[in-house]
Amino acid sequence: MPPVTVQRSISLRSVVAVLMLGTALTGLSDALAQEIGEMRLRGLANVRSPTALPTLAPHDASALNVEAGTGAQRVGLPLRSSARLRTRRARSPVVGEVRARRVRAAVISPNLAREVQPMVVGLPDPPPPPLRRRRRPAEEDPYAQLGLRLGGITVLPALQESVGYDSNPNRASAGRKGSFVSRTEGEVVLRSDWPTHALTGFLRGSYSAYPEVRGADRPEGEGRIALRLDATRDTQLDIEGHGRLDTERPGSPELGVAVRERPLVAVAGTSLGVTQRFNRLLVGLRGTVDRTLYEDATLPDGSILDQSDRNNTQYGVRARIGYEVTPGLIPFVEGLADRRVHDNRIDRAGFRRDSDGVGARAGSTFEITRTLTGEAAVGVQQRTYDDPVLKDLRGPLVDAAIVWSASPLTTIRLRAQSRVDETNIANASGILVQSAGLEVQHDLRRNLSVTAGLTLSESDYKGVSLREETLTGTIRADYKLTRSVVLRASFTHERLKSTAPGSDYSADVFLLGLRFQP
């Protein structure tokens, strides 16, 4: 008898049941396969169908084929006669050999695969954020100096040669004579990029030659190197060395006589400090030692003016307490004391110049959105001299250094300072020096900048009627040909007004130079 084929429309639920049943039939014995096949036939009979399944004769042990829609694969289930099934159910269960029969896996219809979606466990992934236009990163300055790399330290060297004209090389009040000037300048800047600790420093020097004015040649220089050691997370050590080299002008009141050439003045010092942090509270202590030396002056007749009585050493200590309001704002109070000792106990005028100084000031360090940074402090200071004839010197104590980035193209720098210098003028206790400087730099183009600066300084000799006021104005233009080559032009006007007769002077300096900075 040919196999009977039942045509039916199988729902999605029926197809899923068939797939689960086909998987369970794998590896079962013949007897279990027959019983499960009969149970499956009974289940299929209950499926929505126009006709019921006919009873099969015992000799019709063929397969029942079920056709599941268009494109569906036929699944064959082996059948046995009902008599044999009843006999097998009546027997007691025995353990027999299990023979596996290969069952073909069902193939899901493409239409069904599109309808059945995978089960989602947990919350679905959030939708991707909307596409945003990426901000272009800050472009590196194509004319910035690259420098040299030495391990974790960047070295920025520079060499400049300038020529020009100076209207008054000796800064003389009478008999002034101008001269061609040739100036050679060198510079080295250091900075580290270590993960902990920090090393910074600079060294600048220059030599100006005036071939048309004898004795006007002069060197200048300054330098500083600072090392910060992060001993622990809250403890910081600071070590610094600094120095300065300058010359005295021939008409200086300190010299008091005409000299053949400018005598040198050298200052060198060091400091050691420690800062301890207690949460937001910072406590610092620093000790300093500074040494000042004056070169003997040569008079026009060849004789020597001894200036060793002006040499002195200053020992100082500073204590600071600050509170970190924000990472960029740390107000503080500071107290300082020092002792100044001269090599000669009595100077050439017969005065004992050794003295003690004390002072106090309050201020703050700040960094406001990186556009306004610096430190400013104001206070009072007093110096008492060993010689009772010399009156105590009192005055303001000011120290400020502020940098304001007004715009990406404009930078403004402000510097203000007051200090007490030594003097050897008879009956004068000391010199109260106050100075303030303003500098504005504007970039006309990426490789062209203009800088204008103005500095005012006042020197008040306490104990005598002597006062000097100095005004210095500068304008400079830098044109960067490449990263390493810069063309520089500058003009400087300097003027001194003094209460001493015959001491006023003015000078104009024009320079054009080429700077090489690898």
**What are the pLDDT tens digits along the chain (518 aa)?**
444 444 444 455 555 555 665 555 554 445 555 655 565 555 544 444 444 444 444 444 443 343 434 443 433 444 444 444 444 444 444 444 445 455 454 444 445 444 444 444 444 555 555 555 555 555 578 899 999 999 899 999 999 999 999 999 999 888 788 999 999 999 999 999 999 999 999 999 999 999 999 889 999 999 999 999 999 999 999 999 999 999 998 888 888 888 889 999 999 999 999 999 999 999 999 999 999 999 999 998 989 999 999 999 999 999 999 999 998 899 999 999 999 999 999 998 899 999 999 999 999 999 888 899 999 999 999 999 999 999 999 999 999 999 999 999 999 999 999 999 999 999 999 999 999 999 999 999 999 999 999 999 999 999 999 999 999 999 999 999 999 999 999 999 999 999 988 889 999 999 999 999 99
Detail the DSSP E strand segments found in 386-484: 393-407, 410-421, 430-445, 448-462, 466-480
Tokens coding 18: 């068939």
To which residue do tokens 């100076």 refer?
166
pLDDT at residue 123, rounded to an integer: 47
- What's the confidence (pLDDT) of residue 257? 86
Rg (CA), the chain: 48
Contacts (Cβ under 8 Å, ≥6 apart) of 326: none
Instruction: Output the pLDDT for position 140.
Output: 72
Instruction: Look at residue 294 and give its three-state secondary structure.
Output: strand
**308 phi, psi to nearest 5 deg:** -65, -25
Q: What is the pTM of this model?
A: 0.71
Chain-centre distance of CA 290, in angstroms? 31
- What tokens were used for 393? 């010197």
